Structure 1
Amino acid sequence: MKEIRFEHVSKSYGKTEVVKDLNLTIKEGERLILLGPSGCGKSTTLRMIAGLEDVTSGSIYMDKQKVNDVPSGKRNVAMVFQNYALYPHMKVIDNITYGLKVKKMSADEIKHRTDAALEMLQLKQYKDRLPKDLSGGQRQRVALARAVVKQGDCFLLDEPLSNLDAQLRVSARKELVKIHETFKQTLVYVTHDQTEAMTVGDRIALMYQGKLQMVDTPDNVYHRPANIFTAKFIGSPPMNVVDADFQQDKLLFNKQALQLSPEWSRFIQETGATELAFGTRPEHIHLSKIPLDNSITGQVKQVENHGSSYGVYLDVEGQEWIAMSETKNWLPNETVHIEIRMDKIHLFDKETTNSIGYPKNFYGE
């Protein structure tokens, strides 16, 4: 197990900087998720940990040892690539055991580790097949098994479940967590899937355009987003973030107003914030056909079926909102009344896009 620390790390390809001044500590034995959209630098960050990419500037440490110039093979990491990277001429069983045999591990230990991995990833019936005779999802499971049996200090996963079907992804996620709880490796997991991030991670490091946006627990990333990007990236459907003005204890949306609690009013005044963006999650909005206390109105644009609930798209003073409703009895162009949970609102500085924070004792503080 190793702590991994980035100090002012940048990575460039020519004039293109893909990771920018990254400062991040990955705690020994934790599950850290590198999350973000395609092209944000998360896979490059993982590959720098593995030693597969050179650092352009800055330093990477493992257990206080600077590893910028340490070869990949001496870092004791196990990595699962998005593209499998299996030996095409070797059977499944040989792909899984090859690294252990190179290390001259005992036959009994190899068998013990391999049998457990085959069972966990449902590969027993495929152990004598070649990679060309497997589906994409089966090949990905072989790659996972090969990393699992290595039991390195660091377990690095680059979108490891991307080729599995939905049911198997759920099963594999649970098994990965079980593996980690057994061996306690420092696990770094790259994904663009927020469900994987929320269910697997002890902490989430969210990246965008090469920059770290927020590092915190899944709960805090969801309930206390550091900025507008985090607020809108986490959650499905994403958080509503719209322009608002603060005047006389109210938030104004053009001609409509929401009365704020005294705690929020005092807090905003103390921060000195003027131009604000208001955020609320779709699940924290209640829709009604009759006026409610402290509600605003909007017009229904579209209703989307989400299975257990319905996404209702609204026009509120020219800005689009979405609310989640248990019923679908909302008609296009219908005027509806919008009640917002005031203990679940978020406010951001419109210029910096950063959260202005929360009043004391807010969200259970």
Structure 2
Amino acid sequence: MKEIRFENVCKSYGKIEVVKDLNLTIKEGERLILLGPSGCGKSTTLRMIAGLEDVTSGSLYMDNQKVNDLPSGKRNVAMVFQNYALYPHMNVINNITYGLKVQKVPADEINRRTEAALEMLQLKEYKDRLPKDLSGGQRQRVALARAVVKQGDYFLLDEPLSNLDAQLRVSARKELVKIHETYKQTLVYVTHDQVEAMTVGDRIALMYQGRLQMVDTPDNVYHRPATIFTAKFIGSPPMNILDMDIYQDKATLANQTLQLSSDWSIYIQQIGEKELAFGIRPEHINLSKTPVQNGWKGHVKYVENHGNSYGIYIDVEGNELIAMSESKKWWPNELVYVEPRMEKIHMFNKQTTNSIGYPKSLIEE
């Protein structure tokens, strides 16, 4: 089993703990995304897998073998670095084949793997060029080709697309998925970009301040976030999190009361939660110029153009929230009525910041 397993792994630099009690299993052959903001510990986690960082405490297993003390060269990993790390004095073909020659792979096998990688990544016409004569996107493809030809059991990528422009990123994401579907390695991909995470990953492991927040499919991370941090980090614009007084079937924001659905009010009473935060994504809010049956009254603060939609920032008695609108029919200081869709709301414990879950009827939808 070419799976990777962290058991209570910690990584410290002196007194600074950057990865804290990590328990995570990466399944054989899956694409797992390590996602989070800068400094959350995701690259350090990847480098521990590669053997470039030591494990301070806990156990790291690869293929059911404890590898805490196993040298990097014996882990059969292929890694793509953020800065590409190409040899400047070697042309493309030599950059790609150098590692194979060091490993004394037979020449005919080197040629076979290299031709396949050049074809897949559209690099044939650049094979004699030096890195300085390539664009950023071309260098990125060379780095990918070098990792592909190694055909390691584990394919590790540390923000490989961060130096590319938006259009190149889209095509590069497709190439990465295609490469993985061809070779089926266990792929671990570090990024801070949630779009990359949602489009590339089979599962997402979201980290914050060295701790794992949630591990699940992109759909579940988006639609059923486990923590307030997850809810706010995933989604653009982020989820609205409102500090409301919730009692039985009523949710009060400042002096305005929202009627909860019977499913939610029964569920909250059953689990006995009292100190709750209310979450609703911007795209799950309906806006109206006339009073609504179950919502709040506020004023537009400003309108943000997103191209195919508009972000409407609204003040509800000192509380700011954002809603999405397909049309630019809202203006600053205009009165607006806000109606959250009850089947799309989220509830979190204020103290732990963890989700309290969902009524059974919503989970089964």
> TM-score, normalized by length of structure 2?
0.97
Q: Is the 8 A contact 1:252 1:258 kept in 2?
A: yes
Deviation at 1:112, TM superposition (A): 2.8
Match of 2:353 in 1: 353
Q: Is the 8 A contact 1:343 1:363 kept in 2?
A: no
For 1:52-71, what aligned pairs fall within 5 Å after superposition? Answer: 52-71=52-71
Alpha-carbon deviations, 1:30-71, whole Å to 9, x = none?
100000000000000000000000011011001211000110
Deviation at 1:104, TM superposition (A): 2.8
For 1:1-365, what aligned pairs fall within 5 Å after superposition? Answer: 2-364=2-364
Deviation at 1:171, TM superposition (A): 1.2
Deviation at 1:126, TM superposition (A): 1.7
Question: The residue matched to 1:180 in structure 2 has which SS?
Answer: helix
Question: The residue matched to 1:361 in structure 2 has which SS?
Answer: helix
Deviation at 1:291, TM superposition (A): 1.4
Mapped to 2, the partners of 1:168 and 1:280 lie a distance apart of 33
Mapped to 2, the partners of 1:7 and 1:47 lie a distance apart of 16
Mapped to 1, the partners of 2:131 and 2:97 lie a distance apart of 14
Deviation at 1:219, TM superposition (A): 0.6
Unpaired segments ≥5 residues, structure 1: none
Q: Which range moves more in the overlay, 99-108 or 212-221?
A: 99-108
Write the letter of the residue equivalent to 2:163. N
Mapped to 2, the partners of 1:110 and 1:288 lie a distance apart of 65
Mapped to 2, the partners of 1:72 and 1:314 lie a distance apart of 53
Question: The residue matched to 2:83 in structure 1 has which SS?
Answer: coil
Write the letter of the residue equivalent to 1:153. D
Write the letter of the residue equivalent to 2:19. V
Q: Is the 8 A contact 2:301 2:314 kept in 1?
A: yes
Deviation at 1:103, TM superposition (A): 2.5
Q: Which range moves more in the overlay, 35-44 or 90-99?
A: 90-99
Mapped to 2, the partners of 1:268 and 1:175 lie a distance apart of 46
Q: Which range moves more in the overlay, 184-193 or 116-125?
A: 116-125
Percent identity, aligned pairs only? Answer: 81
Mapped to 1, the partners of 2:346 and 2:71 lie a distance apart of 45
Q: Is the 8 A contact 2:33 2:205 kept in 1?
A: yes
The alignment yields a C-alpha RMSD, in angstroms, of 1.2
Deviation at 1:144, TM superposition (A): 1.1
Mapped to 2, the partners of 1:236 and 1:112 lie a distance apart of 44
Deviation at 1:141, TM superposition (A): 1.8
Write the letter of the residue equivalent to 2:66. K
Alpha-carbon deviations, 1:292-336, whole Å to 9, x = none?
221211110000000000000001121110000001111111110
Deviation at 1:99, TM superposition (A): 1.4
Write the letter of the residue equivalent to 1:263. D
Deviation at 1:135, TM superposition (A): 2.8
Write the letter of the residue equivalent to 2:200. V
Question: The residue matched to 1:170 in structure 2 has which SS?
Answer: helix
Mapped to 1, the partners of 2:195 and 2:321 lie a distance apart of 22
Q: Is the 8 A contact 1:297 1:338 kept in 2?
A: yes
Q: Which range moves more in the overlay, 167-176 or 348-357?
A: 167-176
Write the letter of the residue equivalent to 1:59. S
Q: Is the 8 A contact 2:248 2:269 kept in 1?
A: no
Question: The residue matched to 2:226 in structure 1 has which SS?
Answer: coil
Q: Is the 8 A contact 1:32 1:205 kept in 2?
A: yes
Mapped to 2, the partners of 1:261 and 1:109 lie a distance apart of 64
Mapped to 2, the partners of 1:151 and 1:286 lie a distance apart of 50
Mapped to 1, the partners of 2:260 and 2:301 lie a distance apart of 27
Write the letter of the residue equivalent to 2:298. G
Q: Is the 8 A contact 2:10 2:57 kept in 1?
A: yes
Mapped to 1, the partners of 2:364 and 2:111 lie a distance apart of 49
Write the letter of the residue equivalent to 1:233. F
Unpaired segments ≥5 residues, structure 2: none
Q: Is the 8 A contact 1:203 1:217 kept in 2?
A: yes
Question: The residue matched to 2:55 in structure 1 has which SS?
Answer: coil
Mapped to 2, the partners of 1:9 and 1:141 lie a distance apart of 33
Corresponding pairs, count:
365
Mapped to 1, the partners of 2:299 and 2:136 lie a distance apart of 46
Q: Which range moves more in the overlay, 215-224 or 173-182?
A: 173-182
Question: The residue matched to 2:298 in structure 1 has which SS?
Answer: strand
Deviation at 1:208, TM superposition (A): 0.4
Q: Which range moves more in the overlay, 163-172 or 5-14?
A: 163-172
Q: Which range moves more in the overlay, 351-360 or 111-120?
A: 111-120
Q: Which range moves more in the overlay, 104-113 or 22-31?
A: 104-113
Deviation at 1:111, TM superposition (A): 2.5
Mapped to 1, the partners of 2:36 and 2:245 lie a distance apart of 30
